[in-house]
Amino acid sequence: MGYKTLCPGPARPIRLHYKSKHMTTQNTELKLSTRETEVLKLTAEGLTTKEIAQKLFLSPNTIESHRRSMIKKAQVRNMNAVIFCAMNAGII
């Protein structure tokens, strides 16, 4: 087990816990709904909550709810970590 730094530099680095590829974790088996995947991809593109809500014809509160759900499913602390997990899982 170890840590991987995503943002080395003057800012506080984001460290994510990772395990060998032979060990199964929630992060490698991330299962998202179709809508959550849409929200995730738009978030990864840099869109704000309000922009995503307008694009998908949803309430900003609904977008935030999807984000909270993804964070819970990935068992991480923020959307940056969800994006990282989704990239590792091949979702985005």
* Domain CATH code at residue 14: 1.10.10.10
The DSSP letter of residue 4 is E
Distance in angstroms (rounded) separating the CA atoms of residues 88 and 92: 8
What tens digit of pLDDT does each residue of 55-86 get?
A: 999 999 999 999 999 999 999 999 999 999 99
**Structure tokens given for 56:** 């998908």
What distance in Å separates the CA atoms of residue 63 and residue 56, rounded to the nearest whole number?
9
The dihedral of CA 15, 46, 73, 78: what is its sign? positive
Containing domain of residue 44, as a range?
A: 2-89
pTM here is 0.69
Contact 18, 4 (CB under 8 A): yes
Which carries the bigger pLDDT value, residue 13 or residue 85? 85
Domain count, the chain: 1
